[in-house]
Amino acid sequence: MKTLSSPFIWIILVVVGGASLLPVLTNSVSLREDMFLMLMLVILASSINIIMGYTGYVSFGHIVFFGLGGYLAFFLMKEFQVHFVLAALVGGVGASLIAFLMGIPVLRLRGAYFALATIGINEAFRAFFTNFDLFGGSVGMFFNFAVYDAYGGAKSAGQFAYYAMVVLALATIATSFIIKKSKFGLGLMAIREDQDASMVLGINPVRLKVLTYTISAFFPAVAGALFFFKNGLIEPAPAFELHRSIEALVMVMLGGFGTVTGPIVGAVVYERLRGFLITNPTLSSAHLVIAGVMLLLIVLFVTAGVIGWVRQRVPALRRYLE
C-alpha cells in the first residue's frame, strides 16, 4: 500500500513508541503513570479527530464510548474472569456496535443538533448506568484483588495495562493516518467541506459517516477498558464524564484538527500545561481560567491549531507534516 511507504507515519510511530518506552527503561513508576494518562488522552483526541476533523461532525459526548467500553469490559473481567485484553477488545467491539446502531439515525442531524444529541446520549447512558444494578448502579463495580492474581499481582497487571495502552495508541495513530491518506478519507473530507456537493460527486454520506463514527468509537472504548482495569474500580460519573471529551476537543483544536499529529501535539501540550498549572501553588485554582483563555484565543485567531498554522505558513511542509 502506497500509504505505508510514506516515511512520515513511521517517524511518528517511532517517536511515540520511543517516548512510551522511557518509563520502562528508567523503571520509573511515576513516569509510567504520567505516560499512561497521556497516551489515553492521545487516543481520545485522535479518535475525536477521526470523526470531527475528517467529517466535521462535532461529537461532544464522545466520552460515552470510553464509559461503554469500560463498563462492558469490567463486567466481563469481574463476572467471568475474562482476560483483560480479550475483555477490552470485546468492549471495543460492543461500543462500536452501539455507535453503528446509533449513528444511523443520529448522523442525519447536522451541526449543532448533532452536537447536542451526542451530549444527550452521554447523559442518558450515564443516568442509565447509575440506575442499572447489574452493573453496580451508582456505586459502580470494583475488583476483588484476586482478579489481578491471574496477571501476577496488581503491580504487573499495571505494567501489562501500560503496554496494552501503548499498542492501542500506536494503532489509533496508524488508523488515523491510513484513513486520512485513503480514498475513504478523501470522501470524508469532501463531506466535511460540502456535504451536498459531495453527494453529487458520487459520495454516499450516510454510509461513510456511520462507518467513521463506528471506527472512532472503538479506540476510546478499549482505552476505557484498560483504564478501569488498572483502576480496579468503575463508577458512572468518571466513566461518562462529559468534561473529558470536551477537553479532548480542545486538544484537537489546539493541535490542529484534520491532521494526524495535531491531536498528539494538542494532547501533550494541554496536559503538560494543566499539570504545570495544577501543581503550581499560585496558579492552580486558575487552571480552568487559563485553559479557557487559551481555547478562546485559538478559536478566535488560530483556528487551524498549531499544526494547521504551520502547514499554512510553510506550504512546503504541507505534504510531509500530516
- Would you tell me which residues interact with other proteins (CB under 8 A)? 2, 52, 56, 58, 60, 105-106, 108-109, 111-113, 115-117, 119-121, 123-124, 127-128, 130-131, 138, 181-183, 186-187, 189-190, 192-194, 196-204, 242, 246, 249-250, 253, 258, 285-296, 299-300, 303, 315
Is 15 or 197 the residue whose CB approaches other proteins more closely?
Answer: 197
Among positive and negative, which fits the CA dihedral 227, 229, 231, 235?
positive
Using CA atoms, how far apart are residues 241 and 218, in angstroms rounded to an integer? 18
Q: Do the Cβ atoms of 107 and 213 come closer than 8 Å? A: yes
Burial class (CB in 10 A: 0-12, 13-18, 19+), 27: exposed
Is 13 or 119 the residue whose CB approaches other proteins more closely?
Answer: 119
Residue 278 CB, nearest distance to other proteins (Å)? 12
Residue 128 CB, nearest distance to other proteins (Å)? 5
Is 31 or 119 the residue whose CB approaches other proteins more closely?
Answer: 119
Is 54 or 148 the residue whose CB approaches other proteins more closely?
Answer: 54
Q: Is 49 strand, coil or helix?
A: helix
Residue 41 CB, nearest distance to other proteins (Å)? 17
Residue 111 CB, nearest distance to other proteins (Å)? 4
- Which among 267, 265, 263, 270 is positioned nearest to 291, based on CA atoms? 270
Residue 140 CB, nearest distance to other proteins (Å)? 14
Is 78 or 311 the residue whose CB approaches other proteins more closely?
Answer: 311
Burial readout 222-258 (b: 16 or more C-beta within 10 A, e: otherwise): bbbbbbbbbbbebbbebbbbbebbbbbbbbbbbbbbb
